């Protein structure tokens, strides 16, 4: 299914996008909307339509499944993303990656800045780049500012895997894909990651594929 016509007013395009119901189609890498950046949300949809759009993002994220989804990934150039992570991982993975459960959150007009901590590198993937993962070095801790879906201020420090999620989704809103930050020698099919690189850290992959970790 194609995205709504970019020539229609934004609210009309989102109404068209939501009309079929159910999960929204996810835009794949190569679509210009993923590289165009976004505009700040400033009430363009109105409360009712915004709530419907946020719910559609939540349903789509769950169906994919994923732990985050940004508006450009469904063809909408608004600075809005959602995150949620039940973190069903073994204890050794939780400890190594700092992966702890995150409740459903809506990020409106988010931006982040690093907090003084060492960088962290792990495999990560993207719903808009299906089938592959690569090692990405990111800030281990960030301060995220913005608003929630009700316009309430957001100013929170995220660490570990939650910090990775909010950086990944905020990057989408700036027209960036995780591959822009990835160590390309680590690029692996999902099946290979499961078979060879499922360790809590990418150290074994780095030695075998000859790339450096921070």
- What digits encode the pLDDT tens for the residues 52-98? 999 999 999 999 999 999 999 999 999 999 999 999 999 999 999 99
- Please tell me the total number of residues recorded for the chain in this structure: 214
CATH of 10-209 among 3.30.9.10, 3.40.1190.20, 3.90.45.10, 3.50.50.60: 3.90.45.10
CB distance 76 to 18 below 8 Å: no
The mean per-residue pLDDT over the stretch 24-52 comes to: 97
pLDDT-derived band at 116, boundaries 50, 70, 90: confident
Strand partners, 39: 78
pLDDT in the model for residue 1: 40
Mapping DSSP to helix (H, G, I), strand (E, B) and coil, where does residue 50 land?
A: helix
The mean per-residue pLDDT over the stretch 40-54 comes to: 96
pLDDT in the model for residue 6: 52
Q: Is 169 part of the annotated catalytic residue set?
A: yes
Q: Closest Cα to residue 23, out of 66, 57, 72?
A: 57
pLDDT of 2 over the 90 cut = no
pLDDT in the model for residue 117: 76
Catalytic choice (141, 147, 169, 183) = 169
pLDDT-derived band at 5, boundaries 50, 70, 90: low
CB distance 45 to 53 below 8 Å: yes
pLDDT in the model for residue 7: 55
Q: Which helix (H) or strand (E) holds 51?
A: helix 46-63
Helix and strand totals (H; E) in the chain:
6, 8
Q: For residue 168, say whether it is annotated as part of any ligand binding site.
A: yes
- What digits encode the pLDDT tens for the residues 140-196? 999 999 999 999 999 999 999 999 999 999 999 999 999 999 999 999 999 999 999
Burial track 144-175 (b if 16+ CB lie within 10 A, e otherwise): bebbebeeeeeeeebbbbbbbbbbbbbbbbeb
Q: For tokens 């962290």, name the residue.
A: 120
Mapping DSSP to helix (H, G, I), strand (E, B) and coil, where does residue 177 land?
A: coil
φ, ψ at 32 (rounded to 5°): -60, -25
Q: For residue 150, say whether it is annotated as part of any ligand binding site.
A: no
- What digits encode the pLDDT tens for the residues 123-138? 999 999 999 999 999 9
Distance (Å, whole) CA 69 – CA 165: 10
Q: For residue 139, say whether it is annotated as part of any ligand binding site.
A: no
pLDDT in the model for residue 17: 97
């Amino acid at each position: 299914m194609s995205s709504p016509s970019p020539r229609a007013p934004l609210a009309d395009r989102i109404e068209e996008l939501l009309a079929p119901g159910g999960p929204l189609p996810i835009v794949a890498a190569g679509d210009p909307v993923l590289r165009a950046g976004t505009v700040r949300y400033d009430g363009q949809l109105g409360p009712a339509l915004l709530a419907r759009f946020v719910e559609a993002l939540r349903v789509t994220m769950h169906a994919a499944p994923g732990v985050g989804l940004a508006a450009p990934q469904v063809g909408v150039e608004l600075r809005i993303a959602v995150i949620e992570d039940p973190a069903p991982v073994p204890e050794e993975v939780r400890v190594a990656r700092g992966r702890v459960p995150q409740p459903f959150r809506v990020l409106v007009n988010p931006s982040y800045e690093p907090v003084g901590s060492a960088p962290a590198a792990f495999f990560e993937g993207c719903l808009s780049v299906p089938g592959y993962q690569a090692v990405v070095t990111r800030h281990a801790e960030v301060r995220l500012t913005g608003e929630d879906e009700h316009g309430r201020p957001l100013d929170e420090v995220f660490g570990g895997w939650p910090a990775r999620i909010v950086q990944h989704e905020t990057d989408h809103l700036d027209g960036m894909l995780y591959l822009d930050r990835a160590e390309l020698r680590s690029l692996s099919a999902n099946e290979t990651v499961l078979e060879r690189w499922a360790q809590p850290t990418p150290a074994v992959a780095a030695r075998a594929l000859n790339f450096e970790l921070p």
